[in-house]
Structure 1
């Protein structure tokens, strides 16, 4: 597994934790990296995604709401919701990451951490959003 995949998975777990408890404290992050050792590049990428997603959360959630008319944010599975947030941050605010890479990674991570339908669900919403994002 590549450094960026590990970083995305870590950022997803941090966002999930934040979603469930309202915050991600420093101890949680330290403990995660003790249990899941990674090089500095992976950690930096995870932090970039986490901090950027949290900073742009209101805009990102607005995008999700716009393109998931049948699913309110609160009704989505927490994994799907937070994975969409990460991927939308990448699509909209990380021009150095190819759109196709972001989408493929999100779908694969959804299949790994989400439900049986998560990959298709994430793909459907990201496909719509990707058409509106200019890189």
Structure 2
């Protein structure tokens, strides 16, 4: 997975920079899960091999390090919602779920709908044909458990 996120001309906005960070993080996590390299090695390699001038590098690093360090806990958080064993998940799908779970659990400043939508978009770009639907369903159920107050408040406001 050596694709990079396409860039628009001009200065990117914060949303684009974060989207790029998530895209690079997904690719790095895929490499981590398949090749077994350390997160430090992968991060250094990505910073050298990719133009990250329009990327939120801090978010990239946080996602890569947070997901690799907490992958077991993240997997346990969404495991009850899976319809198959964790070992049967495609490495891309697994990495997308881990990013989404990490953001839902640890990045409370990111609205739950944004965390889910960004993960669904990653699955659409990098995953199998229907994986985005699977990712959406799993992360929606996880959000209902870990962001219940936020979801209630949003529904009350609507």
- What CA distance in whole angstroms lies between the structure 2 residues aligned with 1:14 and 1:31? 9
- What CA distance in whole angstroms lies between the structure 2 residues aligned with 1:126 and 1:109? 13
- For the pair shown, which has the larger CA radius of gyration, 1 or 2? 2
Q: Would you identify which runs of 4 or more consecutive aligned residues in structure 1 move more than 6 Å?
A: none
How do 1:1-135 residues align onto structure 2 when only pairs under 5 Å count? 2-24=16-38, 26-39=40-53, 42-68=56-82, 70-134=83-147
The unaligned stretches of length 5 or more in structure 1 are none
Q: How many pairs does the alignment contain?
A: 134
- What CA distance in whole angstroms lies between the structure 2 residues aligned with 1:108 and 1:30? 26
Q: Is the 8 A contact 1:64 1:73 kept in 2?
A: no
Q: Is the 8 A contact 2:97 2:139 kept in 1?
A: yes
The unaligned stretches of length 5 or more in structure 2 are 1-6, 8-15, 151-158
Note the C-alpha offset of 1:67.
Answer: 1.1
Task: Name whichever of 29-38 and 102-111 sits farther off.
Answer: 29-38
